[in-house]
Amino acid sequence: MSIQVLQPRFRIEECLEAVRECLEAGWTGIGFKTVAFEKAWCDYAGLPQAHFLGSATFGLHLALEVLKRRLGWQQGDEVIGTPLTFVSSNHAVLHAGLIPVFADVDDSLCLDPEAIEARIGPRTRAVVFVGLGGNTGAWDQVVALCRARGLALILDAAHMAGTRLHGRHVGHDADVAVFSFQAVKNLPTADSGMICFARAADDAHARRLSWMGIDKDTYARTAPDGAYRWRYEVAEAGFKYHGNSIMAAIALVQLRYLEADNQRRREMAAIYRRLLDGARGLRWIDPAPGCLSSTHLVQIRVPARDRILAALAADGIHAGVHYRDNTDYALYADQAGTCPRAQAASAELISLPLHLGLGDDDLARVAARLRHHLG
C-alpha cells in the first residue's frame, strides 16, 4: 500500500446525515448551515466574527479588499509577505491591485520580523503572515511591529485550525485571520474557508462583498413563514465568494473531531521525532515557544532532498514539499535572490506523510525508509 502525504478523513455517515438535512430542507446555499457553522467557529476559536466562504483563497483576497477600501490604499501600494507559501497568499495581493514584497523567513519558516522591518517603505500598508504548517513563528513580534509601524496585519491561518499561542486560539490579535477548510486541511470539507475580522464593520462589509455587493443575503430575505422579499440594494461591485450549506454541514460535523484529530497529529509528530532522532543530516522545524500547533504539517530539512523524495516514492511513500520558494515561479521571479533563507529551505524541505489514515506502523515504515535513504 502506498502512503500519501496528506489525505482527508471524513466522518462519512454523520456528514451524509448533515448534508441530507440540507437537501430535505431545500436549502443548500448561504444561510441555514453556514449561519450555524459561523457561530460554532466563533465559539470554538473564541473570535468575535466569522464569515464562511468558498475558500481561503477568496478570504485572503476579500481581506485585502475590505482593508484597502476602508483605509484608502491605492493601486500599487505594497504588502509584505513570504515567498515560502502556497501561491494564493501572494496572488491575493495581486488580485487586490497591490504589490507583494517578499521578506525572508526565520528558522520557523514563517516571516522574520527583522526581515519585515527591512522591507518597510513609504508605500507599505500591510503584512500577510503565514502560519506555515500550523506554527506561529515570531507572531508576537510581528504584531508589535505592525502596531508600531501602523501596518495592517493579515494572518493566513490556512494551516492553523486549532493552533493556540499562549493558550489562546490564533486570530484574535490580527486585523483579520483567514482559515482554510479545503480537503486536506485539519478541518476538511471539500473547499471552504472562514474570514474572521477583528472589527464588526469589516465583517459586515465582507458579507456584502462576498455576495456581489448585495446588502442582504437570500436567507435574510426569507421570513420564517417562507415569505420572500425580493428587493435589495447594491452599492459596490462585490464577488461571489460566500460559502454554502453543503460545505458548512460537513464542516459542522468535522469540527466536533478537530481537537481529537489535532491531538493525534501531535502524537504522530512525536512518534516521527522519536523514530528519526539522530538521523544523518536531518533538521526539524519546531513549533515556536508557547505554540500548541495544529500540526498541519511535520516538516524536516534534509540534504539532497530531491534524491530522498525520489527514493521514498520508489518505496511507495509519497512525501511532499511545502512550499517551493515563490520567486522560483515566473510570476514572482523579479524578486529572485531577495530571500536567501527561504530559497535554501525550499531546496531542503520535506513534509512527512501526516494524516489520520496512518497507523503507528505506517509511521515506522516511513521513518525506517527515510533513515535508510539518509544513510
CB of 289 to ligand PLP, least distance (A): 22
CB of 150 to ligand PLP, least distance (A): 25
Q: Does residue 194 bind ligand PLP (CB under 6 A)?
A: no
Instruction: Give residues 318-357 in contact with ligand PLP (rule: CB under 6 A).
Output: none
Residues near ligand PLP (CB under 6 A), total: 14
Window of 35-43, 80-88, 220-228, 345-353 that interacts with ligand PLP by CB under 6 A: 80-88
The rounded distance, in Å, linking the Cα atoms of 28 and 49 is 22
CB of 65 to ligand PLP, least distance (A): 15
Cβ closest to ligand PLP, residue 88 vs residue 343 = 88
User: How is residue 111 annotated by DSSP?
Assistant: B
Query: How many CA atoms are closer than 13 Å to the CA of 22, on its beta-carbon side?
Result: 23
In this structure, which amino acid lies at residue 54? Answer: G
Instruction: Name the strands in the sheet holding 152-157, side by side, starting at the edge strand that comes first in the sequence.
Output: 51-53, 193-197, 176-180, 152-157, 124-130, 78-81, 99-102
Instruction: Give residues 86-145 in contact with ligand PLP (rule: CB under 6 A).
Output: 86, 88-89, 130
User: How is residue 332 annotated by DSSP?
Assistant: G
Instruction: Give residues 154-183 in contact with ligand PLP (rule: CB under 6 A).
Output: 156, 158-159, 180, 182
Q: Does residue 193 bind ligand PLP (CB under 6 A)?
A: yes
User: How is residue 37 annotated by DSSP?
Assistant: H
Within the chain, where are the H helices? 12-25, 33-45, 56-71, 88-95, 113-119, 139-149, 200-209, 245-275, 305-314, 340-348, 360-374
The rounded distance, in Å, linking the Cα atoms of 31 and 355 is 31
Cβ closest to ligand PLP, residue 112 vs residue 156 = 156
Cβ closest to ligand PLP, residue 57 vs residue 343 = 57
Window of 39-47, 50-58, 140-148, 241-249 that interacts with ligand PLP by CB under 6 A: 50-58
Chain residues in the site for ligand PLP (CB under 6 A): 55-57, 85-86, 88-89, 130, 156, 158-159, 180, 182, 193
